[in-house]
Amino acid sequence: MIMSFRWYGESDPVTIDKIRQIPVVRGIVSALYDVPQGETWPLEKLRDLRAAVEKKGFVLSAIESIPVHENIKLGRPDRDALIDKYRRSIRNMGEAGIPVLCYNFMPVFDWTRSNMAFPLADGSNALSYDDAEILAMDLSNGTEGLPGWSTSYDAAELRGLLDAYRDLSEEGLWENLGYFLEKVIPAAEEAGVKMALHPDDPPWSIFGLPRIIRDEAALDRVLKLADSPNNGLSVCTGSLGAHPRNDLSAIIRKFGSMGRIHFAHVRNVKITGKGSFHESAHPTGSGSLDMHAVMKAYSDTGFSGPMRPDHGRMIWGETGKPGYGLYDRALGAMYLSGLWEALEREKGGHC
């Protein structure tokens, strides 16, 4: 397992030098943040990113993520041209020596929350989600003020996208995902890049949009769309774990034993009702998820890819990008690594 940490580049207040002070972290997860959606990621910029990470003693363990253009998800006429650019980005990743690409197929919105500073009893704050709050949100100004999306849209753009998706069924979205994978997985095989699809967050429909990557059956279907070891998953415990029907240990054991989990996001959430939850500290007992069981499933199935603590609380007065402060994610990395060391020692393995 490669304990990794998300870094948002040179403008990130959580600098790579600060990350170096977390002793268990060996990998960096990052991206190019100045390439417009739908354009090819340049080889030289990917090489420069890898060089910047390696200069500080890390490996660039994954890219998270190259956004999939909405016109690909909608199956519009220009999707082939956009997919060709995506294929070139994958090939450039391979040539730059970057092994894993995390991506998602969520319509319009990436991970979505209704409150970016939900107060917790210990005095910290965390990201939270509530269906009722989402339904009450005003989208008349586009995505302004909404947490968790890969691209900003003004009011007219957002209205056009929402209207377009109303005419697309879940099965239609599945067909468009299958078409995308049919085109890009051969490029990933040639490049030696492992594609890792992230589940929907939260794992149910929001704003009337279809969401399809939300449970074990969906993950199984994804892998069958392109039966290749390069077609794999990013298993996010916080995303899938927000719905009580998802048995995280069973999911990890099933797909981990197949060698199809290429990236692991590990975090905890507290389910507070139907369609509502808030994020919590990583340890078991802080939220609704059993982190020991999660890490044991990864250990038992021999997971060797990148793993990162996902969203953290904002603690000790830290400010900045909600969910991506330094302190709580550093605590999470240490906690998860401690569990991993104990599990590996119990079976006589190497940490």
314 DSSP assignment: B
The reply to whether 198 belongs to the active site is: yes
Q: What are phi and psi of 162, to 5 degrees?
A: -60, -40
Q: How far is it, in rounded angstroms, from Cα 16 to Cα 10?
A: 8
- CB of 216 within 8 A of CB of 114? no
The reply to whether 310 belongs to the active site is: yes
| Residue from 215, 310, 328, 335 carrying the catalytic annotation | 310
- CB of 284 within 8 A of CB of 291? yes
Task: Please enumerate, as own/partner, the contacts of 143-150 that have beta carbons within 8 Å and a separation of 24 or more.
Answer: 143/109, 146/109, 146/112, 147/112, 147/113, 147/116, 147/322, 148/109, 148/110, 148/111, 148/112, 148/113, 148/201, 149/108, 149/109, 149/110, 149/112, 150/37, 150/65, 150/67, 150/110
Q: Which of 333, 241, 348, 243 is nearest to 293 (CA)?
A: 241
The reply to whether 236 belongs to the active site is: yes
| Residue from 86, 103, 324, 335 carrying the catalytic annotation | 324
| Residue from 69, 311, 328, 335 carrying the catalytic annotation | 311
Q: How far is it, in rounded angstroms, from Cα 316 to Cα 318?
A: 6
Strand order, beta sheet including 276-279: 115-119, 125-130, 276-279, 269-273
| Residue from 265, 278, 328, 335 carrying the catalytic annotation | 265
Q: Which of 182, 229, 194 is nearest to 90 (CA)?
A: 194
| Residue from 236, 262, 298, 335 carrying the catalytic annotation | 236
| Residue from 12, 153, 165, 198 carrying the catalytic annotation | 198
Catalytic residue positions, numbered: 198, 236, 265, 310-311, 324
